[in-house]
């Protein structure tokens, strides 16, 4: 696990992979967008099975302050 933060990101992203090269660029772009949202609480996370989703990375986890984001549950809920 390591923490990733770029200048334009408001919050860091904790990633449960060996290195950032293991993640798809589309997944990282989605995580970058999540980390810029003003209501993300402390950090966003990417689990080991992460890959690009529809707006939210599959294997992505967030906690949000004062908002509910149905799409954050994902269209793959219950897969596996």
Contacts of 66 (CB under 8 A, 6+ apart): 39
Is 49 marked within a binding site? no
Helix (H) or strand (E) holding 61: strand 58-64
> Distance (Å, rounded) from C-alpha 42 to C-alpha 70?
19
Query: 46 to each of 20, 52, how far by Cα in Å?
Result: 11, 11
Residues of each annotated binding site: 76
Annotated binding site for Mn(2+): 76
């Amino acid at each position: 696990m390591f923490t990733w933060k770029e200048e334009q990101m408001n919050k860091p992203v904790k990633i449960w992979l060996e290195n950032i090269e293991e993640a798809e660029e589309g997944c990282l772009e989605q995580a970058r967008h999540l980390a810029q949202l003003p209501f993300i609480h402390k950090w966003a996370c990417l689990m080991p099975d992460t890959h690009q989703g529809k707006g939210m990375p599959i294997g992505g986890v967030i906690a949000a302050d004062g908002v509910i984001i149905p799409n954050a549950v994902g269209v793959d809920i219950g897969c596996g």
